[in-house]
Amino acid sequence: MTRTVAIDLTVNGERITASVPSRLNLVDFLRNDLGLTGSHVGCEHGVCGACTLTVDGVAVRGCLMLAAQANGCTVTTVEGLSDQGLSTALQAAFTKRNALQCGFCTPGMLASALAYVNAGGTDDRDAIRAHISGNYCRCTGYQAVVEAICDTIKEART
């Protein structure tokens, strides 16, 4: 049946083959089938950004992509961020700046921020705020998040 789809993809460097229901979205597959619960599920309609992860090098919404569509793709979740360019520096800056409180938005926030810093984004605060405007945080008021991203960009330059 076409309601079950065979997929073959790479997740955090590991090749995965699976048979998934057609309706299963990527973030549910990662969390429930692979146990990678770092990516969070918030609004499930692409607004909150909690499920943001990296597919083939770009940030996407894990709730707006089917697992079936990820066939042949390379997926990176927060669990696999360690070798993604500036990710170590970014995570350290989030810690130093206290750029999280409850942590629910953090995996998605890191994925979005990483796309920005790895693409050579500037330390212009308005540009950073515009970039992370698709990631909701209900704790920090964003100021510390912006500071952490700024720090990462400035440190990478020195």
Partner 1 sequence: MFSVMGGTMKAPDFDYLRPATLDAAIALLASSDGDAMPLAGGQSLMPMMNFRVASPSALIDLADLAELRGISRDGSSIRIGAMTRYAELAASAEVMAALPLFGMALPHIAHDAIRNRGTLGGTIALGDPAAEMPALALALGAKIELAGPDGTRVIDADEFYLGYYETARAPDELIVAIHYPVALSDHRFGFHELTQRHGDYALAGAVVARTAQGHRVAFFGVADRPLRLPALEQALNTNPDVQSALHHLSAIAFTGDVKASAATRQRLAAVALTRALQGMTQ
- Binding residues (CB under 8 A) for partner 1: these are 1-3, 5, 21-23, 25, 28, 44-46, 49, 52, 58-61, 63-66, 68-69, 111-112, 115-116, 130-131, 133-135
When the beta carbons of 2 and 158 are compared against partner 1, the nearer one is: 2
Q: Which phi-psi region, left, alpha or beta, contains residue 99 (left: φ > 0; alpha: ψ -120 to 50)?
A: alpha
Q: Describe the strand order of the beta sheet including 58-61 as a list of residue ranges.
A: 14-21, 4-11, 74-76, 52-55, 58-61
Place of tokens 């945080």: 137
Distance of alpha carbon 39 from alpha carbon 122, whole angstroms: 26
Nearest distance from C-beta of residue 158 to partner 1, angstroms: 26
When the beta carbons of 14 and 57 are compared against partner 1, the nearer one is: 57
When the beta carbons of 8 and 158 are compared against partner 1, the nearer one is: 8
Distance of alpha carbon 77 from alpha carbon 36, whole angstroms: 8
Distance of alpha carbon 86 from alpha carbon 74, whole angstroms: 18
When the beta carbons of 51 and 148 are compared against partner 1, the nearer one is: 51
Distance of alpha carbon 78 from alpha carbon 110, whole angstroms: 8
Nearest distance from C-beta of residue 57 to partner 1, angstroms: 10
Nearest distance from C-beta of residue 51 to partner 1, angstroms: 9
When the beta carbons of 6 and 102 are compared against partner 1, the nearer one is: 6
Nearest distance from C-beta of residue 54 to partner 1, angstroms: 10
Nearest distance from C-beta of residue 53 to partner 1, angstroms: 9
